[in-house]
Structure 1
């Protein structure tokens, strides 16, 4: 499956954003926008559509849960369906359940490899690609 998508990376750690941006470009992202926190992510999501959001759960301004509540609001139309992969170093049962309840598509535990990220991105983007496939 060829991956060509526009991505938003949301993390309050600049080093993590840089690493994720590099990894996403290596697996097919044609454009990667970075946001240093939840508020910046929400503004980016309102400005332009993305094919994928890769987001940290814990951020100082608006956390991942807050971003998800805004993003999954039906008033955003098609953008409310944007696939989201949650990155976390704290993948406990409570966080995972809350993330799924808020509409996160998948979760990846930090630290992760390029191959782990590629597999999850493929899994998350496959349903959208199949929906628009020409038969």
Structure 2
């Protein structure tokens, strides 16, 4: 099963660039995906299949693309993960519209949020270009 903790914003942007280079249908077919309705990632005014983008971003992070059957977290998990990486995802986050909850909340502050710090680039093996584990020693090359 694929885990996505190593996927960073840079990996997602690389997957988006590959999608743009290949085209939507070729991108999906290369990685064995069919269009996933309901979860759309929007970046620079373009819409992308969020599930396929996340699976290919996993490839950039770990060297292996997540298979369609490994994307078991569903729409909410994909949307939440990509949202945490700073992307605009529609259809992937549940709406909290409970009347009881909305009356209990304090008014939202209008103070602007602090901009996120840029992510450090992931160290890669100079021989095989795989992401290095925390030990700094490549699992494949030693």
TM range (shorter): under 0.3
Report the TM-score, using the length of structure 1 for normalisation: 0.28
Compare the two structures and name the one with the higher strand fraction: 1
Report the TM-score, using the length of structure 2 for normalisation: 0.27
Larger radius of gyration: 2
Compare the two structures and name the one with the higher helix fraction: 1
